């Protein structure tokens, strides 16, 4: 009988990408994936530290797994990976002695070594397959860590300084993904726009786009997450000039108030942010803009919130990822500022922002009705095939025979705030 492994993942796309790679590697050397974390032979918990609640959930999983190992399945292998592994690992080792391995993000080799010793896997076969995941649209981490130290964020303390992977290494990996049927890649970095700065002054994300653009089988290149400070003209021009690079940019602004931007330590003003969007829209007229925003940050009064509302209404984002501020232990804001906005105010502002955003989204999407757009088929949801266009909009099509990875033209006949529907154009 095949040995079973299970991966529980929480957090961002970087973690999903890491889990996909490990899943693919273990599958390729004969392990069977299971969704029963407790009863698997190898149980992997892929952790996130962005919110305290995520860390609490991870600890609760480890607690359950440790009890299961002690009482029922002594030869089980428990692995903790992801952002919780780092400076506080010693503390975690003491708290969870049943955990066999602590893996930092993108550092899979100790797991391969352990399975080689304990389960006798073919180590070389496993290593060579670590990046293979035959999905049409795959994530590719290109850098990790962050040097920005925004006052509300724990990432720089846990993921460390920004480190970029070399271009030839990424190109090689993407070619192997393409050999396995991948047609679209999303390049991931905590701050993807600063890609390459640590390698050489001359290397930018634009150079990486160009190198990947030459891979025939790859039809679309996406990237996230951007930072207004590092999104420079060279990157903007390469998005404009390279047809495979999608015209969809996620550029978090976090607050529309200069006072709050300063205490958040974001390093730009609302005026600079708006100017940057103007440049982007001038160079890439069809661009879809999305952003992240936090409401209820320390010291945010009604006038600061109005500035945020004003900014989002001025820009009119295609999508907005909104979050209510909550304290995260170890961050600058938790140590030096007061979480002084009452929860009821935070919730009211959050709702108001989201309600207004929904109206903007519905209005922007309605302009697609009657137009023909090109989408890449990605899967099937509730009996309907769907894909995304260049601008990252989800479009459903009434045609069950379309194959994943195909690029098709559809005429859009319905648009709501979250998705659209269209018919195949023959
Ligand atoms: S840019 Fe700011 S919010 Fe983003 S990962 Fe870095 S510190 Fe965190």
Domain boundaries, the chain: 4-128, 137-366, 372-424
Residue range 173-190: mean pLDDT, rounded: 92
pLDDT at 107 over 80: no
Query: What is the arithmetic mean of pLDDT over 347-357?
Result: 98
* Ramachandran assignment for 154, one of left (phi > 0), alpha (psi -120 to 50 degrees), beta (any other): alpha
CB 271 within 8 A of CB 414: no
Predicted confidence at residue 290, as pLDDT, reads 97
Residue ID of nearest Cα to ligand 1 atom 5: 190
End-to-end CA gap in the chain: 48
Q: Are the CB atoms for 333 and 297 separated by under 8 Å? A: yes
Q: How many CB atoms lie within 10 A of CB 67?
A: 12
The residue to which tokens 């804001």 are assigned? 333
Question: Given this model, what pLDDT does residue 87 score?
Answer: 60
Mean of pLDDT values over 214-234:
95
126 lines ligand 1 (CB under 6 A): no
Q: Whose CA is nearest to atom 8 of ligand 1?
A: 153
- Give percent of the chain above pLDDT 70: 96
Say what the pTM is.
0.85
Contact 57, 10 (CB under 8 A): yes
Specify the higher pLDDT residue, 292 or 116.
292
pLDDT at 26: 84
pLDDT at 207 over 90: yes
Which residue in this structure is represented by tokens 């920005």?
148
Confidence band, pLDDT 50/70/90 cuts, at residue 382: confident
Distance 384 CA to ligand 1 centre (A): 37
What's the fold here for domain 4-128?
A: Rossmann fold (3.40.50)
Ligand 1 within 6 A of CB of 259: no
**pLDDT band at 155; cut points 50, 70, 90:** confident
Asked whether residue 402 carries a pLDDT value surpassing 70, the answer given is yes
Of 108 and 183, the structure prediction assigns the larger pLDDT to: 183
What pLDDT band is residue 423 in, cutting at 50, 70 and 90?
Answer: very high
Q: Nearest residue CA, atom 2 of ligand 1?
A: 150
Minimum-distance ligand 1 atom for the alpha carbon of 190: 5
Q: What is the pLDDT of residue 244?
A: 97
Higher pLDDT, 270 or 113: 270
| Choice between 159 and 241, residue whose per-residue pLDDT is larger | 241
Residue 88 is predicted with a pLDDT of 61
153 C-alpha vs ligand 1 centroid, how far in Å?
6
Render the burial of 141-173: b for 16+ CB within 10 Å, e for the rest.
bbbbbbebebbbbbbbbbbbebebbebeebeeb
Residues 375/343, Cβ–Cβ less than 8 Å = no
- Which pLDDT score is estimated for 122? 64
Q: Is the CB of 150 under 6 A from ligand 1?
A: yes
More confident residue, 43 or 21: 43
Q: How confident is the model at residue 281 (pLDDT cuts 50, 70, 90)?
A: very high
Amino acid 114: pLDDT: 83
Rounded Cα–Cα distance for residues 64 and 388 (Å): 39
Give yes or no for residue 129 having a pLDDT over 60: no
CATH domain 372-424 topology: OB fold (Dihydrolipoamide Acetyltransferase, E2P) (2.40.50)
Band of the pLDDT at 125, cuts 50, 70, 90? low
Query: Is 345's pLDDT higher than 90?
Result: yes
Mean pLDDT of 140-151: 92
Instruction: Kindly give the number of the ligand 1 atom that is closest to the alpha carbon of 149.
Output: 7
190 CA to centre of ligand 1 in angstroms? 7
Q: Check if 146 has its Cβ closer than 6 Å to any atom of ligand 1.
A: yes
Copy the structure tokens of residue 342.
């009452």
**Ligand 1: does its nearest atom lie under 6 Å from the Cβ of 191?**
yes
Q: What is the mean pLDDT of the chain?
A: 91
**What is the per-residue pLDDT for 83?**
85
Cβ of 183 closer than 6 Å to ligand 1, yes or no, is no
What homologous superfamily is domain 137-366 in, according to CATH?
tm_1862 like domain (3.80.30.20)
Cis geometry, peptide bond prior to residue 141 (ω within 30 degrees of 0): no
Residue with the larger pLDDT of the pair 92 and 394: 394
């Amino acid at each position: 009988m095949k040995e079973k492994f299970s991966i529980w993942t929480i957090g961002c796309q970087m973690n999903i990408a890491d889990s996909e790679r490990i899943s693919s590697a273990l599958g390729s050397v004969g392990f069977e994936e299971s969704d029963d974390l407790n009863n698997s032979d190898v149980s992997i918990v892929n952790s996130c530290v962005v919110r305290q609640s995520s860390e609490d959930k991870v600890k609760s999983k480890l607690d359950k797994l440790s009890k299961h190992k002690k009482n029922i399945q002594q030869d089980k292998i428990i692995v903790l990976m992801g952002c919780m592994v780092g400076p506080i690992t010693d503390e975690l080792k003491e708290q969870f002695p049943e955990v066999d391995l602590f893996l930092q993000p993108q550092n899979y080799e100790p797991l391969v070594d352990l399975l080689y010793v304990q389960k006798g896997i073919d180590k070389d076969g496993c290593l060579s397959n670590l990046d293979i995941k035959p999905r049409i649209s795959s994530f590719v981490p290109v850098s990790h860590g962050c040097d920005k130290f925004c006052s509300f964020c724990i990432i720089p303390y846990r993921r460390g300084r920004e480190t970029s992977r070399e271009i030839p290494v990424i190109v090689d990996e993407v070619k192997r993904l393409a050999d396995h049927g991948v047609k679209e890649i999303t390049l991931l970095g905590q701050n993807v726009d600063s890609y390459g700065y640590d390698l050489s002054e001359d290397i930018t994300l634009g150079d990486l786009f160009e190198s990947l653009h030459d891979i025939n089988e790859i039809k679309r290149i996406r990237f996230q997450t951007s930072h207004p400070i590092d999104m420079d003209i060279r990157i903007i021009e390469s998005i404009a000039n390279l047809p495979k690079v999608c015209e969809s940019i996620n550029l978090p602004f976090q607050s529309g108030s200069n006072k709050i931007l300063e205490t958040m330590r974001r390093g730009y003003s609302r005026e600079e942010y708006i100017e940057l969007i103007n440049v982007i829209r001038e160079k890439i007229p069809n661009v879809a803009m999305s952003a992240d925003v936090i409401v209820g940050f320390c010291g945010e009064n009604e006038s600061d919130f109005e500035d945020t509302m004003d900014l989002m209404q001025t820009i009119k984002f295609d999508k907005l990822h909104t979050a209510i501020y909550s304290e995260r232990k170890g961050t600058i804001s938790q140590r030096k500022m007061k979480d002084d906005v009452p929860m009821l105010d935070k919730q009211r502002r959050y709702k108001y922002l989201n309600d207004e955003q929904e109206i903007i989204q519905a209005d922007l999407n309605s302009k697609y009705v009657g137009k023909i757009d090109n989408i890449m088929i990605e899967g099937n949801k509730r009996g309907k095939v769907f894909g995304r266009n260049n601008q990252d909009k989800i479009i459903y099509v009434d045609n069950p025979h379309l194959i994943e990875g195909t690029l098709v033209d559809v005429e859009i006949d319905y648009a709501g705030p979250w998705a659209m529907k269209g018919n195949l154009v023959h």
